[in-house]
């Protein structure tokens, strides 16, 4: 068997250049032909795959109830944010999608300004989730619901070990170690040890931030290295659950007794309550250091309109109908399946399900200790930070050195996005 050198070079050279593109290409654009009734727009709407039963049926029901246009819902499993980011580059993306438009997407003109849709009720939206959708005084997505992450703990396991719910990071590290047995691990922060999901939470818990309000790096401070350095102890003590069949967003590991404490979302609360009754509680991420404070991350997907859509006006009318006018649907979406806090303050106040037990605790944490990821925190900075955190946690890398590199990347990113119009 012989190959000519020309063939070999051709094969080898083509591989890398086409590989990255080919890896992401698929024949399914996710968009049907318009195919609707004549004179009537057909809108393609994308949602990511929610884990809670009934959510998909609910959004299809809302779409079917809309009379001014035909709305086709696509339920998209997999890495949804990557899918939408790639789809927005093409002409075959959705008309409407739920997501958190990034600064590059906004600056690149990939999403439509929806300020006029929200202006009448702007003050009724929780500012914690409206602010990251706002750039240059304009709003680029209508917040749907508030999602928050928090720490679930198993009351019986803690009391058996004579441990109080941790209120500081040091207490959390100690508790995780004491709660670890041959069959149960102390803490589950995701299969990567927390590098992905925790994000800026430990920094906020140390009294710092990802990006300051005046647009500077918020963690160029020795306190950041000191706090992040503590995570390696969790790994070295073998207190972390790693390699669970489901990741942090799913409460299965906690429910199945694989871990005593788990970082997850408010959405998991109904499933946890159903499985464990009252044998659980929720906590914010504990404070660290003298300037620290308890912290919970809050965020919201927003309904956004693709600027390449041929039906922008119809798409805007639809999202105004669904996420501004139809408050009954918003309440149903937030509370009838998993638990989420309605993005509208008036709806959140009315929600009876959020007034008692662990749900009420969670809502108070979101109100008192919530922080949202700033719009200026770009994916490049986030990747550098996650890589550094992973090395700190698993390899015991020097937090000072690692963070200095992330500070450089973040500063350069902030400079880049500021240059853009």
Partner 1 sequence: MFTYVPLLWSVYLSFFDAHNTVSPHRFVGLDNYTSMLRDRAFTDSLGTFGLFALFIVPATYALSLALALMVNRLRYLQAFFRSVFFLPAACSYVVAAMIWKLSIFNGVRFGLANTVLGWFGADQTAWLSTTHPPWYWLVIVTVRLWLQAGFYMVLFLAGLQRIPAQLYEAAAVDGARPGWQVFRYITFPQLRATSVAVALLLVINAFQAFDEFYNLLSDSRGYPPYARPPLVYLYNIALGRGQNLGEGSAGAVILALIIAVVTVVQARWFGLGRRED
Site track 67-86 with partner 1 (rule: CB under 8 A), x = hit: ------------x-xx--xx
- Assess 222 for contact with partner 1 (CB under 8 A): no
The nearer residue to partner 1, 137 or 421, going by C-beta atoms, is: 421
From 10-18, 149-157, 282-290, 306-314, give the range in contact with partner 1 by CB under 8 A: 10-18
Structure tokens at 394: 């698993």
Structure tokens at 254: 């906690």
The nearer residue to partner 1, 79 or 123, going by C-beta atoms, is: 79
- Assess 32 for contact with partner 1 (CB under 8 A): no
- Assess 4 for contact with partner 1 (CB under 8 A): yes
From 64-72, 101-109, 116-124, 221-229, give the range in contact with partner 1 by CB under 8 A: 101-109
d(CA 162, CA 63): 51
d(CA 418, CA 81): 23
- Assess 290 for contact with partner 1 (CB under 8 A): no
* CA angle at 159 for the pair 154 and 161, rounded to the nearest 5°: 100
* Residue numbers 356-385 binding partner 1 by CB under 8 A: 378-380, 382-384
* Torsional class of 215: left (φ above 0), alpha (ψ -120 to 50), beta (otherwise): left
Q: What is the enclosing helix (H) or strand (E) of 333?
A: helix 327-335
- Assess 2 for contact with partner 1 (CB under 8 A): yes
* Residue selected from 116, 328, 368, 395 as contacting partner 1 according to rule CB under 8 A: 395
d(CA 262, CA 247): 10
- Within 8 A by CB and 6+ apart from 10, the residues are none
* Residue selected from 70, 95, 98, 192 as contacting partner 1 according to rule CB under 8 A: 192
Is 280 within 8 Å of 361 (Cβ atoms)? no
- Assess 177 for contact with partner 1 (CB under 8 A): no
* Residue selected from 39, 164, 182, 213 as contacting partner 1 according to rule CB under 8 A: 182
The nearer residue to partner 1, 167 or 256, going by C-beta atoms, is: 256
For partner 1 (CB under 8 A), the number of binding residues is: 65
Structure tokens at 92: 């075959």
d(CA 199, CA 91): 33
From 98-106, 143-151, 154-162, 263-271, give the range in contact with partner 1 by CB under 8 A: 98-106
- Closest distance to partner 1 from the beta carbon of 421 (Å): 12
- Closest distance to partner 1 from the beta carbon of 193 (Å): 6
d(CA 75, CA 94): 12
Dihedral (CA of 141, 146, 151, 156) sign: negative
- Assess 255 for contact with partner 1 (CB under 8 A): no
- Closest distance to partner 1 from the beta carbon of 282 (Å): 21
- Assess 245 for contact with partner 1 (CB under 8 A): yes
Q: What is the secondary structure of 205-243 as a DSSP string?
A: HTT--SB-TTSSBS--SHHHHHHHHTHHHHHHTT-B--S
* CA angle at 40 for the pair 37 and 46, rounded to the nearest 5°: 95
d(CA 267, CA 251): 9
- Within 8 A by CB and 6+ apart from 28, the residues are none
- Assess 115 for contact with partner 1 (CB under 8 A): no
- Assess 89 for contact with partner 1 (CB under 8 A): yes
- Closest distance to partner 1 from the beta carbon of 117 (Å): 23
Phi, psi of 226 (to 5 degrees): -60, -45
- Assess 291 for contact with partner 1 (CB under 8 A): no
- Closest distance to partner 1 from the beta carbon of 141 (Å): 16
The nearer residue to partner 1, 38 or 419, going by C-beta atoms, is: 419
Query: Would you tell me which residues interact with partner 1 (CB under 8 A)?
Result: 1-5, 8-9, 11-21, 23-24, 79, 81-82, 85-86, 88-89, 102, 104-105, 107-108, 110, 182-183, 190-193, 195-197, 238, 241-245, 247, 249, 253, 258, 378-380, 382-384, 386-387, 390-391, 394-395, 405
């Amino acid at each position: 068997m012989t190959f000519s050198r020309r063939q070999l070079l051709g094969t080898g050279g083509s591989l890398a250049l086409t590989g990255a593109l080919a890896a992401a290409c698929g024949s399914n654009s996710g968009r049907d032909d318009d195919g609707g009734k004549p004179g009537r727009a057909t809108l393609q709407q994308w949602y990511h795959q929610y884990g809670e039963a009934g959510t998909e049926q609910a959004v299809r029901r809302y779409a079917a109830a809309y009379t001014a246009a035909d709305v086709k819902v696509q339920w998209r499993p997999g890495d949804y944010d990557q899918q939408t980011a790639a789809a927005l580059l093409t002409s075959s993306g959705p008309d409407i999608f739920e997501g958190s438009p990034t600064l590059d997407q906004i600056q690149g003109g990939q999403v439509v300004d929806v300020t006029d849709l929200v202006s009448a009720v702007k003050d009724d939206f929780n500012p914690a989730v409206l602010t990251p959708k706002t750039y240059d005084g304009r709003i680029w997505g209508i917040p749907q619901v508030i999602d928050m992450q928090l720490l679930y703990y198993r009351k019986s396991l803690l009391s058996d070990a004579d441990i109080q719910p941790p209120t500081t990071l040091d207490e959390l590290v100690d508790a995780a170690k004491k709660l670890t047995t041959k069959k149960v691990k102390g803490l589950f922060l995701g299969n990567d040890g927390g590098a992905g999901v925790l994000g800026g939470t430990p920094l906020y818990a140390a009294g710092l931030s990802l990006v300051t309000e005046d647009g500077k790096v918020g963690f160029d401070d020795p306190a950041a290295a000191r706090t992040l350095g503590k995570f390696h102890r969790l790994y070295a003590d073998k207190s972390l659950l790693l390699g669970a069949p489901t990741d942090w967003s799913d409460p299965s590991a906690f429910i199945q007794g694989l871990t005593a404490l788990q970082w997850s979302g408010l959405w998991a609360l109904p499933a946890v309550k159903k499985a464990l009754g009252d044998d659980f509680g929720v906590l914010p991420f504990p404070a660290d250091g003298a300037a620290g404070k308890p912290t919970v991350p809050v965020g919201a997907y927003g309904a956004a309109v693709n600027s390449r859509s041929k039906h922008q006006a119809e798409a805007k009318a639809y999202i105004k109908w669904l996420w501004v006018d139809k408050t009954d649907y918003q309440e149903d979406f937030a509370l009838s399946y998993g638990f989420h806090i309605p993005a509208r303050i008036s709806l959140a106040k009315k929600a009876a399900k959020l007034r008692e037990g662990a749900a009420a605790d969670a809502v108070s944490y979101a109100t008192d200790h919530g922080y949202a990821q700033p719009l200026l925190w770009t994916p490049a900075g986030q990747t550098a930070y996650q890589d550094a955190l992973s090395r700190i946690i698993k390899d015991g890398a020097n937090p000072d050195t690692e963070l200095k590199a992330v500070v450089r990347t973040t500063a350069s990113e902030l400079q880049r996005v500021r240059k853009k119009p």
